[in-house]
Amino acid sequence: MSGRPTPIPPAYNLRRYVRDGVDARGRAVKRFETYGAALAERATRIKTLRWQGEHAAQMVALALENCQHRQPCRSLACPVCARRRRLETGAAILEFLESYSVEELQFVTLVDPRDRSCPRWWCS
């Protein structure tokens, strides 16, 4: 995910499928956020982190401030990078799923052990 993003073929572009409305289970769904909305959210997060004053918060704020289109920070705290990750991985997933029928599919959720969090008493 470094440098300029590769163009996503229209058939695999998640923005075509995620629209405002109600899903099949009755939940309200908002459309995919725009690049401008992600930039605005990043600015809000930087301001909030700067206000915190803690060293760790300052380091995250610095990473977000230095995030650029051609050199993304890839921080999980960055809404611009999160949007880009969702678009790119979503496109790859849609392309992969295209060769299967609905009847053939089974789904699981995979969590990278480095990203998990759980109560100390459970994970020790």
How many domains are there within the chain? 1
Contact present, 116 and 79 (Cβ < 8 Å)? no
Residue 116 lies in a domain: yes
Distances (CA, A) of 17 to 5, 12, 115: 20, 9, 28
Report pLDDT digits (tens) over 9-26.
Answer: 777 777 777 778 777 777
Residue 57 lies in a domain: yes
**Encoding tokens for residue 3?**
């440098």
Using pLDDT thresholds of 50, 70 and 90, give the confidence band for residue 119: low
Residue 102 lies in a domain: yes
Residue 33 lies in a domain: yes
Residue 1 lies in a domain: no
Distances (CA, A) of 84 to 44, 72, 75: 18, 10, 11
Determine the pLDDT at residue 1: 45
Report pLDDT digits (tens) over 69-106.
Answer: 889 999 999 999 999 988 888 888 888 888 888 888 88
Closest CA to 13 of 124, 77, 89: 89
Residue 51 lies in a domain: yes
Residue 5 lies in a domain: no
Tell which wins on pLDDT, 117 or 76.
76
pLDDT at 7 over 80: no
Domain of residue 35: give its range.
10-123
pTM: 0.65
